Structure 1
Amino acid sequence: MYHSRAAVSLLLVFAVMINGSQYLQSRIIASGGCDSYTCGANARCTMSEGRPVCSCFNLHMGDPLARCIRVECLINDDCPYNRVCTNNRCVDPCVGLCGVNANCETRNHIGTCQCLPGHDGDPFSGCRIADPQAACKPSPCGENTQCEVINQVPVCTCLPGYRGSPLAGCRHECENDSECPQHLACSSSFRCESPCKCGENAECQVVNHQAKCTCPKTWVGNAYVACRPECTTHSECPAAKSACLYQKCINPCDGVCGVNADCNLRDITPVCSCPRHMTGNPFVSCRLFEPRDLCEPNPCGTNAICTPGHDNTGRERPVCTCPTGYIGNALSSCQRGECFTDSDCPDNRACIDFTCSNPCTGRECGPSATCTPRHHIAVCTCPQGTRGDALYTCNPIESKSVYNYGRAYRYRYY
């Protein structure tokens, strides 16, 4: 250390204050190189015009020949943008800078004071509450308008019930119905409003600005007071209209049965029927009885034919007969006959009442004649030992008897 300092021919010594302490700061004015001289702590040696110079590092202060101490800042640029360098420290410039009701913002190391929203005055001494409607005093708006300050800007609007330009002036929305749409009317407050003021549950229809109130279909009541359903249960309906259908009392028989038909109720269920003196489909039409109705439906047996007729008293009744070619009881069943003609039967049978029967029934020949069925007919002959007309009588043959040819007797037995 001695030999280094010996190389310095002259020192200029001066005192500086760092954070309240006194340090000696020297500057080399004699010649000598940095290789033969060592500066103090946190100092560096540089050559200037061939002479060594000791200086503190950046952001350091003190005696570069002895010791340099680090500081926070030397100038404002050493601090963040929102701090200022005061006494080698970066401090908030807003501390104690602004008055009451003022905000402080730091920009480029400079504190700026502004009054809080809704306040005015000197932000460095103090701000007071401002009149929120100051921008509307006096009002820049036209007649029949209202002025409102929004974001410190006056905004003009027409008063309720008025329309037009708020800056030039507003007028009533309407003076008469013609200035309103068809479904609205000009009210007493000069506004286009619905004219509907109907009763509870009523329906409203606006025609040419006029309201027409009606109760819903099937409902009753005063449409301008209140509407209600005619009924909600069957018990609320009168006897003549005993059914509650879609909230309306109706006669269940209305429009159900056919022409001339009777309708009777079972509880509320309609039952259709034709009167006793009439017939037909009760759901379509009923008419007076006709003779043909005796056979509709057919009361006779299977395959039998029904025709209108009369009984022994002259009263109309159906008459049942078997059709041609059929036999049997027409009241129960008719069956197809055995034959239609004699050719349908064997040689010794004839077609009698559609049945192949013996043509000799005992009534075809005389009482003493013989009947033989042949070729479908009865053949009458007198037995051997007799003679005569076999259709009437056969007489025994006697050789000595006198035959009276002038007289003939014919007998027919039935």
Structure 2
Amino acid sequence: MAEKFLFLAPVLLLALQVGVDAQRYYHPRSYLGRDLYEHGRSISDNLVTCGPHTCGVGAHCIHGSVRPVCACLAGYSGDPLSQCIKIECLDNSECRSHQTCVNQHCVNPCEGTCGINANCDVRNHIPVCTCPAGYTGNPFSSCRIADPEEACHPSPCGPNTKCHVANNQAICTCLPGYRGSPLSGCRHECESDGECGAQQSCRDFKCVSPCSDCGVNADCETVAAHRAVCKCPRGYHGDPYRICSAECTSDSECPSYKPACVYNACIDPCVNSCGVNADCNLRGLTPVCSCPRNMTGDPFTFCRPFEARDLCEPNPCGANAKCTPGHDRTGAERPVCTCPTGYIGNALVSCERGECELDSQCSDHLACVGYQCVDPCLGNTQCGSGAVCMARRHLAVCTCPSGHNGDALVNCYESQSVVASTRYYRYKRNGNYTLPASEAADANGVTEEKQE
């Protein structure tokens, strides 16, 4: 546009000048090929030339075919005969980023662009209109204060629903007690018990537990046919659908035959506390169970008549001892404790396994006596006076010492005779005297000895 304007300016000026001087109009084509000076030059033809004041400020002058031609300098616009002003811009790139080139001027593009209450921001010479925070509407016409629930006005939800806005979106939900599709409409949760589960009933159009029908302190045992089955708890009595009252709150409120208050009920603590045939006696309010005198057993489970075998069950004797039912001197039944074969000790305390049962289990110079290996000489008490005892082959062997004669089992005395005599050996075991086999032939083989 600027270039076209600059091009047309001198043509228009020339036409105006010709029209004023000649007072006549010519078609531009009538000048072609003609000699405008065929009739001579006028005074003005010789006087009008380019001078300092021929054209306006900011314009420049050139000599045309017949007259000077004025035109605005490059980058300027205006009236070349009066004043040309420097052009501010030709496109947006010559303006700052927050301005736009309009009619060769850098202007604020936001002026008069956006609507009422709207914000305008220039981005790369382009005005951008937006509604401020908390406002809504068309930013090119008008912005108004935003309504948080605007998405719900009018409500897009069906009947019996609630509409609320979340993230600028309308959310539809059924009202309490209603169910169904909130977009098409909601209805009551129930109209009758049959529309509820087996453990519920329809109350105020809602499926609820019917146990609320039970009275004060009553228990709701179960629900049958959508109705509560109520019962007074243990220790309470009354109408379970109205109120259940406690029989007692402390032991002092109970009679002597039911002295204990347990779970608000007076009871006899002995009931079902002891076993079959057992006796129960109260120690305070604590039941004490015992079997009768002629019975035995576990008083908490079963008591039975006493039997002889019960004397030894459990075994009252010492460790490893044997218990046998018996009697004492008065004939009363009593357990008899003995150590079993091969054991020794106090049967009432403990029986220990013996050292032996056979002589062969002892050394040659010892004998198995009372399950113990002992010296059969028993400290030289088995021979006669003056005799010597030596244990051999588990026996006590008694002999008269050298220079003595006599019966080694009875008496050995000092010999006064010079006549040699045969030495006799006698053995004693278990209180019996024996002779060696070599001397048994002459039982009376005793040599008479002379005394000096």
Normalising by structure 1, we get a TM-score of 0.44
